[in-house]
Structure 1
Amino acid sequence: MSTAISEAGNIPVNAATPVVTYSPVVFDVPGRAAPLEIKVSAPATGTDLPIILLSHGHGETNFIASLHGNAPMAGFYAAHGFVVVQPTHLDDKALGLRDSGHPEAPMFWRSRVTDMHFILDHLDEIEATVPGLAGRLDRDRIAAVGHSLGGHTTSMLLGSRVDDPEDPQTGDLSDPRIKVGVILASPGVSDEPTDGVMMQRVRMLRFINFDTMTTPALVVAGDKDLNENFSTRLSYRSDAYTHAPAPKTLLTMHGAEHIFGGITGFDTVETTDEDPERVATLRAMIWAYLRSALYPDDKAWPAAVEALESGAATSSGTVESK
């Protein structure tokens, strides 16, 4: 017998409202290998709306690693008061650029970050293009959220670096307009002789440095997310918390693998640990963290942590902060 799936995993959240989604908003960016396409999801009503830049992962699916992905997350955040902006980065498999010989292929890690800079530089044009959005954005409350390679994109917006001594373009790509971030299952630090095959194949993975990531962030890791192609350390996905300066918070989701039960899309085949209730709990925890980070008087995060730690949430996890 089937049972109903909860929306927020018993984490306290505000009431959901209808959502309006508009895509694609298309920009021809000078020097970019393809036009930048963006999806915008927003509450149908309300003003002074905070903004989330949501960065997709790399992955091997044809369409999920694009503006079409992360639907369980994007729709939830828009329904609960955020304007969510999702770009399609150049590593989207459907663009066919991963094996193109482009100097940034296959990861396009640098252009992923500059995509976000471009979006923030062109919020006026985005407002003017999306019907009903003009005048409703709060430009002082902007967050970045990303999963996997999108987590790395987010970490760089918050101040992490790729300190490759042979890369003349290595440098600070942070953006002070972003006040807080959420980093899910991001690549960590290369510090073992047993680092996996991906470290040898993708040079930038060997030089990730979180020492300069000073912007506040929530780092999310699954305690079953072990991929020896990257590292033999289970703690690898927590490095953005361990190695970055305070203030940082770590949320470890129990039983979660790399997709946290299905955050990248509804019923996607890449989900190896399908658990809709874990998705519900996690997205609500992230919502609560962002609410309290962007609105210091909002008690959403303490209430969410209490629900998680008391066992009231439908999935379990632990929280620590520094």
Structure 2
Amino acid sequence: MSAISAISAITAIPAPTVPDSPRSAPAPATVISAKPVVLPAPSGRGEDLQVRVSAPATGGNLPVIVFSHGFGWSMNGYAPLADHWAAQGFVVIQPTHLDSRTLGIPHEDPRTPRIWRIRIEDLTLVLDGLGVLEASVPGLAGRVDHGRIAVAGHSWGAQTASTLLGARVLDADGVPGEDLSDPRVTAGVLLALTGLGDSLTPFAAENLPFLRPYFDTMTAPALIVAGDRDDSALSTRGPDWFTDPYTHSPAGKSLLTLFGAEHSLGGVPGTEVAETTDESPARVALIQRLSTAYLRSALSSEHDGWKEAVTALENDPDPLGSLRSK
């Protein structure tokens, strides 16, 4: 496999600065971000896969996070997460899925019913092409640890990422579908991941058949993040619907419930965007800090940072959320 287009933008991004407080941590490194790196499309996708790669400008043995965006977004979104993780020592890879508004594919496109599967294939394509992506970004070759890979995602992206961790989709008879997990992926961060399909609204049940997840087989470790005011129009259950991935999955999971957070969880897609109705830099900083510590613990056995982050949350006199683990 080879990348088929040149990188059109290489950007050096100063590390994001945040207040030095118990709820935030300074990011130490300048980030290099390159886009688009283009991977050839497999049969049936129709559009070549555009990818953004962000990484710290220095350092080696860098673990990888493959991030799946929410509906309509693209490789250009989720800077509060991508830039932060990269500044903290991760290589962050963001593919643009076919539902992205940047591609303008109409709903009546014949690929639409399969986009949920094509999204999963996009993540696998990134994993298969990791060496190509590494070689295509100036200064990154030889610095990536291919043995430490996590997936992350928000909303539909979390559903996409969860399948690589072992989640499945129930068929019309309630039988778990194909196992799409990938042994190369050993941990995940799942943000606003939708719950079980037994409480879907009529619209969701008719139009979104993939929203029938089966979490019993999601055995890989994951940090699941839910907002206690995330009242989805896709379910009749209310915000607790988003805690199903924790409740119904095997051990090895942690659940961060954010107080007052809606579907954007305070603004993880970006600052001052239309989808963010609950903008809160403090909530985003908490997600940044806990997700970074969690991934370091899961991928690098750096457990002290995770323990310190959990203790800080538990001892906060005015906490932004609560954490459970099993």
Say yes or no: TM over 0.5: yes
Distance in 1, Cα, partners of 2:202 & 2:51: 33
Distance in 2, Cα, partners of 1:170 & 1:104: 19
Tell me by how many angstroms 1:319 deviates: 0.7
> What residue is the counterpart of 1:78 in the other structure?
86
Distance 1:234 1:196, change over 3 A: farther
SS across alignment from 2:262: coil
Tell me by how many angstroms 1:295 deviates: 1.9
Alignment of 1:223 onto 2:224: no
Distance 1:53 1:93, change over 3 A: same
Alignment of 1:121 onto 2:139: no
Quick check: 1:14–1:80 contact (8 Å CA) kept in 2? no
Deviations 1:189-227 (A, max 9, x none): 0123x635323321221x211111111111110011112
> What residue is the counterpart of 1:178 in the other structure?
185
How many residues of Structure 1 are paired with residues of Structure 2 in the alignment?
A: 309
Alignment of 1:90 onto 2:85: no
> What residue is the counterpart of 1:62 in the other structure?
none
Superposition map of 1:12-161 within 5 A: 13=25, 15-31=27-43, 32-59=45-72, 65-105=73-113, 108-161=115-168
Deviations 1:273-302 (A, max 9, x none): 011111111111111111111122431111
Structure 2 unaligned segments of length 5 or more: list them.
1-16
TM-score after normalising by structure 1? 0.90
Alignment of 1:319 onto 2:319: no
One-letter code of the match for 1:217? Answer: A
One-letter code of the match for 1:35? Answer: D
Distance in 2, Cα, partners of 1:43 & 1:37: 21
Structure 1 unaligned segments of length 5 or more: list them.
60-64
One-letter code of the match for 1:116? Answer: L
Distance 1:48 1:264, change over 3 A: same
Tell me by how many angstroms 1:53 deviates: 0.4
Greater CA deviation, 177-186 or 161-170?
A: 161-170
State the superposition RMSD in angstroms. 2.2
Quick check: 1:186–1:237 contact (8 Å CA) kept in 2? yes
> What residue is the counterpart of 1:294 in the other structure?
299
Distance in 2, Cα, partners of 1:269 & 1:311: 31
Superposition map of 1:164-243 within 5 A: 164-165=171-172, 170-192=177-199, 195=201, 197-205=203-211, 207-243=212-248
One-letter code of the match for 1:295? Answer: S
Distance in 2, Cα, partners of 1:190 & 1:169: 12
TM-score after normalising by structure 2? 0.89
Quick check: 2:32–2:57 contact (8 Å CA) kept in 1? yes
Q: Which has the higher contact order (CA 8 A, sep 6+)?
A: 1
Tell me by how many angstroms 1:101 deviates: 2.6
